[in-house]
Amino acid sequence: MRKQYQIEILDSPSKTVYIPNELNLHTHLTKIAFGTHSEDAAFVLHKTKKNSIILSKDVAEALNFPDLNIPLHAFANNETLFIGPLVGIFTSGFTSFPLRPIGDRTLFFAKLLSVKKTVGAIPFLFGDQHINWEQGTIRGLFYHQEGFETYEVPFPNVVYDRLPNRKSEKKNELKEVRDRLQKDYLIPWYNPGFFNKLDVYERLQNEDEISVYLPETHSFSSFSVIERMLADYGHVFLKPINGSLGLGIHQIIYDKKEGNYYCRYRVRDENRLRKYNSLESLMRNVFAGRNLSKILVQQGIHLLRHDQRPVDFRIHTNKDENGEWRITATAAKIAGPGSVTTHVKSGGIIKTINEIFESENEMEDSLKRLTEAALKISKALERNMEGIIGEIGFDFGLDRKGNVWLFEANSKPGRSIFKHPQLREFDLLTRKLSLSFAVFLTEASIMKPEEIFR
């Protein structure tokens, strides 16, 4: 367990840092660092405050250190004492309204930043417009009980990517920020990018231990592929390769007795089911004007049901303060009446795992299978995807034989499951660990940078 220290600022002799004896064991200290700023200082041992590091006022000002009364971690290396971490949370969509500086996402970010004391980190929000490249500082948004405040701080130890969507991710000015901070300043940047469904499938299918969880999936190439998969599985799903929130998903069902094709999908706020006498007719009517090259075809699974409706499962994994994958949330999602997905906006209902299964043994066995799959796939994605991954939200299915199927992996998982009153503790845990991982990355980048920047 890493120790945290209260940071105090005093009008004491200039260029002086007072530290407890335990921080002077490994190296002769001559500098103190906060974020990417460092300052020469005289280090003096103090015996009265074993859990405090005291900075003279001029040192605090030189470091752009905000006096926020947050206990921090301390790492000593190469004659430098690093205090932090200072965690930059990179996003877009800032507004000019002080009470809602990030619009509809203000409450989410307020909750995320509010775990700072339990984690021992100083997190702040920023966008490309807040960076002063000449000074090496950022005018970041910090959250207190009174609301958001702006402080000028150094570039952070690590950056947590919370860009809201693929559109923002593709903007050149935002890409340039990421590239410059990573390459010129060697700042670890975690959870970059959104996963592409087909890319995830193709990268995982060559791992024997993981491929058993993957439903057959192809990019759309011809009607004959859909016909063959309908013959094999009875139904298939057509999904946008870069889709999210269940938007644009269509289920195609083939009725062998009648020889008819059914398509279930959602338009605006209405779930629809349409019947056609041929696949060509269905595609022509439902997908008119669509770019089929951006759609994938996925094997339909005969899912476990609850109250006659299909169920899938959301499992969150996070890397913790030791860089280890952990299960941080589990929930069941029941499809709405006539809905093609289990999303809440399509009428879906969130339940705890306990509410789904009739027997304790069945629940425990299913949960064991789901969590085992989530941890294995988290490690496999880390091996096979670019960048530093710190959290994943999985959508899994269980078929009627108890087999686990991976439907989707999300690098920026939605949080609708946490509206369930019994899942609020998981909400807190996922927020804490998404910042705790920054502590691990900061220490690794100071002590073993070769492991981070391979």
pLDDT higher for 242 or 25? 242
Residue 318 φ then ψ, to 5° = -135, 150
Find where tokens 């994994």 sit. Answer: 317
In whole numbers, what is the pLDDT of the chain averaged over residues?
A: 91
Residue 435 has pLDDT above 90, yes or no: yes
Note whether 278 and 395 are same-domain residues: no
Note whether 339 and 436 are same-domain residues: yes
Contact 233, 410 (CB under 8 A): no
* Structure confidence by residue, pLDDT tens digits, 300-327: 999 999 888 889 999 999 999 999 999 9
Q: Give percent of the chain with pLDDT exceeding 90.
A: 71
Which of 247, 241, 92 minimizes the C-alpha distance to 165? 92
Contact 317, 391 (CB under 8 A): yes
* Structure confidence by residue, pLDDT tens digits, 41-59: 999 988 777 889 999 999 9
Please check whether residue 231 lies inside any domain of the structure. Answer: yes
Q: Which two tokens stand for residue 384?
A: 């096979």
Position 291 confidence tier, pLDDT thresholds 50, 70, 90: confident
Note whether 57 and 130 are same-domain residues: no
Residue 244 has pLDDT above 80, yes or no: no
169 residue type, one letter: E
Q: Helices in 205-318 by DSSP H: which ranges?
A: 208-211, 223-233, 279-286
Domain count, the chain: 4
Please check whether residue 454 lies inside any domain of the structure. Answer: no
Please check whether residue 453 lies inside any domain of the structure. Answer: no
Contact 48, 17 (CB under 8 A): no
User: CB within 8 A of 6, min separation 6: which ones?
Assistant: 49, 51, 52, 53, 69, 71
Q: Given this model, what pLDDT does residue 37 score? A: 97
pTM higher than 0.85: yes
Contact 317, 374 (CB under 8 A): yes
> Judging by DSSP bridges, how do beta strands 250-255 and 260-267 pair with one another?
antiparallel
| Four-residue CA torsion sign, 224, 241, 389, 135 | positive
Q: Given this model, what pLDDT does residue 100 score? A: 94
Q: Given this model, what pLDDT does residue 319 score? A: 97
Please check whether residue 122 lies inside any domain of the structure. Answer: yes
Query: How many angstroms separate the CA atoms of 90 and 191, rounded?
Result: 11
Q: Look at residues 299, 330, 364 and tell me which one is the last residue of a structural domain.
A: 299
Q: Any idea what DSSP says for residue 74?
A: E
Q: HSE (CB half, 13 Å, CA atoms) of 396?
A: 31
Note whether 147 and 251 are same-domain residues: no
Other C-beta atoms lying within 10 Å of the C-beta of residue 451 = 10
Which of 336, 334, 249, 312 minimizes the C-alpha distance to 286? 249
Note whether 165 and 256 are same-domain residues: no
Please check whether residue 234 lies inside any domain of the structure. Answer: yes
Average pLDDT (129-151) is 94
Please check whether residue 269 lies inside any domain of the structure. Answer: yes
Q: Given this model, what pLDDT does residue 69 score? A: 92
Note whether 256 and 360 are same-domain residues: no
Average pLDDT (194-204) is 89
> Judging by DSSP bridges, how do beta strands 131-132 and 137-144 pair with one another?
antiparallel
Residue 166 has pLDDT above 90, yes or no: no
Contact 252, 223 (CB under 8 A): no
Q: Given this model, what pLDDT does residue 452 score? A: 77
Note whether 209 and 351 are same-domain residues: yes
Q: Look at residues 46, 68, 84 and tell me which one is the last residue of a structural domain.
A: 84
Instruction: For residue 52, give the CATH number of its domain.
Output: 2.40.40
Within 277-398, strands assigned E span 295-299, 305-306, 309-319, 325-334, 349-351, 391-398
Note whether 181 and 277 are same-domain residues: no
Please check whether residue 452 lies inside any domain of the structure. Answer: no
Q: Which two tokens stand for residue 43?
A: 């280090």
Q: Given this model, what pLDDT does residue 25 score? A: 64
Instruction: For residue 203, give the CATH number of its domain.
Output: 3.30.470.20
Note whether 307 and 401 are same-domain residues: yes
* Structure confidence by residue, pLDDT tens digits, 97-130: 988 999 999 999 999 999 999 999 999 999 999 9
Find where tokens 């900061």 sit. Answer: 442
Asked which of 9-13, 159-163, 268-272 is least confident by mean pLDDT, the reply is 268-272
Produce one character per residue of 3-14: b if its CB has 16 or more CB atoms within 10 Å, e if not.
Answer: ebbebebeebee
Q: Which two tokens stand for residue 25?
A: 């064991």
Q: Look at residues 84, 99, 120 and tell me which one is the last residue of a structural domain.
A: 84
Q: Give percent of the chain with pLDDT exceeding 70.
A: 97
Q: Given this model, what pLDDT does residue 89 score? A: 97
Note whether 312 and 295 are same-domain residues: no
Note whether 92 and 73 are same-domain residues: no
* Structure confidence by residue, pLDDT tens digits, 358-367: 899 999 999 9
- What is the extent of the structural domain holding 161? 87-187
- For the chain, first and last CA: distance in Å? 26
Please check whether residue 446 lies inside any domain of the structure. Answer: no
Note whether 98 and 153 are same-domain residues: yes
Residue 5 has pLDDT above 80, yes or no: yes
